Amino acid sequence: MLQAFVMPGIGHYEAIRKEIIRRLQRERERRKLSKYAVAQRSGVSESMLSLVERGLRNPTMELMLRVADGVGADLAPIINRARRTISRAEANKLTVRKGQLKRKA
């Protein structure tokens, strides 16, 4: 018997995308790389990187892969950690703010 698969709402995927971007930015800062340095390494313009980090542009998977390469990070574990964080937050009726799980008001 096939089990029904219930797809999470679009907000779920938006939250994961934002968490992935936040984690990439944090990794860039942890490695003390400027946006300019990542832009040079990845082929993504510095202005596009800035727009993505500020949440003003939705990056494609290709762009996120290029940024991860420019940072020197593997995107797969970043995606997995972001998914776990968001799923845990939703299961416990929490929200993620600046990388921290907080109780919803």
Residue 2 in any domain: the answer is no
**CB–CB of 46/39 below 8 Å?**
yes
In-domain check, residue 99: no
User: What CATH code is carried by the domain that includes residue 27?
Assistant: 1.10.260.40
Specify whether the CB–CB gap between 18 and 55 falls below 8 A: yes
The answer to whether residues 64 and 80 touch, using CB atoms and an 8 Å cutoff, is no
Residue 58 has, within 13 A of its CA and on its CB side, a CA count of 5
Which residue range(s) make up the domain with 61? 10-94
Residue 70 within any structural domain of the chain? yes
Q: How many CB atoms lie within 10 A of CB 37?
A: 15
For 21-52, write each residue's pLDDT tens digit. Answer: 999 999 999 999 999 999 999 999 999 999 99
pLDDT tens-digit readout, 48-91: 999 999 999 999 999 999 999 999 999 999 999 999 888 887 77
CA nearest 19: which of 98, 94, 77, 90? 98
pTM of the full structure: 0.79
